[in-house]
């Protein structure tokens, strides 16, 4: 089923790039990052440090949580 989105807007003042939208009546905040790659297909792995090379500061902040969080969880759980 194709869902319509409404009220799409960029939040330029946010600490990380974010887009707000409403999908099927639910408010959704989408993090955005511009990566230094010619294309970003299904094989793109944003958990690898290489994805951070050449990105601007705002995009790095946006990606950093996704890159760092799983690694931190793996390291903490491997110690128990």
Q: Which structural domains are found in the chain, ordered by start? A: 5-78 (3.30.460.10)
Contact 3, 24 (CB under 8 A): yes
Cα-based torsion angle of the residue sequence 53, 55, 57, 61 in order, rounded to the nearest 10 degrees: -80
pLDDT digits (tens, 9 = 90+) for 29-76: 888 888 888 887 888 887 777 888 888 888 888 887 665 556 666 666
The per-residue pLDDT for 1 is 46
pLDDT surpassing 60 at residue 5: yes
Which of the two residues, 77 and 57, has the higher pLDDT score? Answer: 57
pLDDT digits (tens, 9 = 90+) for 46-58: 777 788 888 888 8
Buried/exposed 40-62: b ≥16 CB within 10 Å, e otherwise: eeeeeeeeeeebbeebeebbbbb
């Amino acid at each position: 089923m194709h869902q319509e989105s409404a009220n799409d807007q960029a939040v330029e003042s946010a600490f990380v790039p974010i887009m707000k939208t409403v999908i099927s009546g639910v408010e959704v905040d989408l993090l955005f990052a511009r990566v230094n790659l010619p294309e970003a297909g299904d094989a793109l792995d944003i958990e690898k440090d290489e994805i951070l090379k050449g990105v601007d500061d705002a995009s790095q902040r946006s990606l950093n949580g996704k890159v760092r969080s799983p690694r931190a969880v793996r390291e903490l759980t491997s110690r128990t």
